[in-house]
Structure 1
Amino acid sequence: MGTHITFKRPDGKEAKGYLANAARGNAPGVVVIQEWWGLSENIKALTDRFALAGFDALAPDLYKGVVVPYHDADAAGKEMNSLNFIEATEQDVRGAAQYLKRNGAKVGLTGFCMGGAVTIIGAAKIPELTAAVSFYGVPPEQAAKPADVQVPLQGHFANKDDYFSPQMVDAFEQGLKAAGKNYEFFRYDADHAFVNEERASVHDREAAEQAWGRATEFFKKHLG
């Protein structure tokens, strides 16, 4: 459904991504951020699904063409650890937001796993955003603190998550509450990455569909 495009980063360099447009014109935008595996077929499918839900959706390719197979967590970890999260957020992700906003549309940001953490960093650092939805990802404190979040934030988290533990999520939520931020967090009795349909060992369709409905309603509320 979508197509691969090239777009400009704020620093003038080019970035690549996967774009899926809504059927209607003047649609709001959603930037979609990959898991630590890269710009996988699953992320492209979710980008397509946002388009079907009425949003122009763009997933920037943060790994520049590298997609790691699901069985190779070590390779995924190496790719993620070699990524400069702040530069990726302020350049590739912000460039994607600027691309979607070029016709005056409101733009939201969402991401999964690693992308969920990038989403919260973006909610603190990207001025073009109107709302953000993080799926099972929380950034380290040095990247973004709860008090830094500048837009309404929705979060979807797994109670059986070894990567972003319930304790980490609770601590971040307490920070948001103490700072008086506009947020809502949901927790699911599921595993990390429960939205990923390509990973049968962790996918939970009921939780995934509930989270998807909440996310799209949240974006429709804030983006139009």
Structure 2
Amino acid sequence: MPMEEVSISVPGGKSMRAEVATPAGDGPHAAVIVIHEIFGLNDDIRAKAEHLAGRGYVAVAPDLFSILGRKPLCVVRAMQSLRRNDGPAFEGLEAARGWLAARPDVDASRIGVIGFCMGGGFALLFAARAPLGAAAVFYGDVPKDETPLEASCPVVAGYGGRDAVFGRFAARLEDHLNVLGVENDIKLYPDAGHSYMSEHTGLMAKLASWGPMKVGFDPAAAEDSWRRVETFFAEHLGGE
């Protein structure tokens, strides 16, 4: 299912670049916002959107960097927005949600979000800011206090146990959601590192392999994570 490039209006008269994968059939379908890693909207994120479309979801992948200025400034601005839980990146996500809700082939009551690394942090916070049915969070940042998650929809998440930076957030996220009474399915994969669901190639793969996060694709953890996401989304969004 090839991706289609689209333009989504955001506040301030700007436009955000995005790509959408559409399932077969007339719908109305459930839909998912796919939030990219720090590497941006690349082939790996496109593959994830296409994977979801193959399971019956309209999947839109917004390019958050397209509204945040030139690299590397856009990366800095994205991380600032994430730390503040506010700003243009969240405006872009809400614009993507509204764009999906307005499509005739989407059931506006069945929209979810999935994010990876930086996108996982955005997905977690956006899950408590927007009317969503479910959120999938993979190796994303988790706030120290549970307050920003008080209005969260149900959350499924995965972290790598070999990731010395983000792996510890699995227990924190589970604790926060349990305190708040939010339905959740959080799993730590002891043999996986950071970004274990992404098949990076070339320079990105070389850069990603450095450091304490033990970045690398883990087929077993990725397969199990997709199984959990598909089950969780089917329950809460009514997809396939």
TM-score (norm 2): 0.80
Contact in 2 for aligned 1:138/1:169 (Cα 8 Å): no
Distance 2:188 2:150 in 1: 22
Secondary structure at the counterpart of residue 28 of structure 1: strand
What is the identity, as a one-letter code, of the residue corresponding to 1:97?
Answer: R
Contact in 2 for aligned 1:90/1:125 (Cα 8 Å): no
Secondary structure at the counterpart of residue 63 of structure 1: helix
Runs of 4 or more consecutive aligned structure 1 residues displaced over 3 Å after TM superposition? 10-13, 139-142, 144-147
Secondary structure at the counterpart of residue 124 of structure 1: coil
CA deviations 1:175-205 (Å, max 9, x no partner) are 2111211111011120100001125651011
Structure 1 gap segments, 5+ residues each: 67-74
Q: Using the TM superposition, give the Cα deviation of residue 148 of structure 1 relative to its aligned residue in structure 2, in angstroms.
A: 2.1
Distance 2:129 2:67 in 1: 25
CA deviations 1:12-43 (Å, max 9, x no partner) are 53211011101122111000000011111100
TM-score (norm 1): 0.86
Question: Structure 1 residues 146, 154: closer, same or farther in 2, change over 3 A?
Answer: farther
Please list, as runs of the form range in 1=range in 2, the aligned pairs for 1:163-178 lying within 5 A after superposition: 163-166=165-168, 168-178=169-179
Partner residue in 1 for 2:95: 95
CA deviations 1:110-158 (Å, max 9, x no partner) are 000000000011011112x11101011124348x746424211111111
Contact in 1 for aligned 2:37/2:116 (Cα 8 Å): yes
Contact in 2 for aligned 1:23/1:54 (Cα 8 Å): yes
Q: Using the TM superposition, give the Cα deviation of residue 89 of structure 1 relative to its aligned residue in structure 2, in angstroms.
A: 4.6
What is the identity, as a one-letter code, of the residue corresponding to 2:136?
Answer: V
2:139 is the alignment partner of 1:136: yes
Distance 2:88 2:162 in 1: 28
Secondary structure at the counterpart of residue 138 of structure 1: coil
Partner residue in 2 for 1:7: 8
**Larger deviation, residues 148-157 vs 54-63:** 148-157
Contact in 1 for aligned 2:16/2:67 (Cα 8 Å): no
Secondary structure at the counterpart of residue 18 of structure 1: strand
Distance 2:159 2:52 in 1: 20
Distance 2:152 2:224 in 1: 26
Distance 2:220 2:151 in 1: 29
**Percent identical:** 30
Question: Structure 1 residues 65, 89: closer, same or farther in 2, change over 3 A?
Answer: closer
Partner residue in 2 for 1:109: 113
Aligned length: 213
**Larger deviation, residues 46-55 vs 169-178:** 169-178
Structure 2 gap segments, 5+ residues each: 210-215
Distance 1:209 1:11 in 2: 40
Question: Structure 1 residues 174, 198: closer, same or farther in 2, change over 3 A?
Answer: same
Secondary structure at the counterpart of residue 44 of structure 1: helix
Distance 2:226 2:160 in 1: 14
Q: Using the TM superposition, give the Cα deviation of residue 53 of structure 1 relative to its aligned residue in structure 2, in angstroms.
A: 1.3
Secondary structure at the counterpart of residue 125 of structure 1: coil
Q: Using the TM superposition, give the Cα deviation of residue 80 of structure 1 relative to its aligned residue in structure 2, in angstroms.
A: 2.9
Contact in 1 for aligned 2:116/2:138 (Cα 8 Å): yes
Please list, as runs of the form range in 1=range in 2, the aligned pairs for 1:1-224 lying within 5 A after superposition: 1-9=2-10, 13-25=14-26, 26-64=28-66, 79-83=74-78, 84-85=81-82, 86-102=86-102, 103=104, 104-105=107-108, 106-127=110-131, 129-141=132-144, 145=147, 147-166=149-168, 168-189=169-190, 190-199=192-201, 202-224=216-238
Q: CA RMSD in A?
A: 2.4
Q: Using the TM superposition, give the Cα deviation of residue 171 of structure 1 relative to its aligned residue in structure 2, in angstroms.
A: 2.1
What is the identity, as a one-letter code, of the residue corresponding to 1:22?
Answer: P
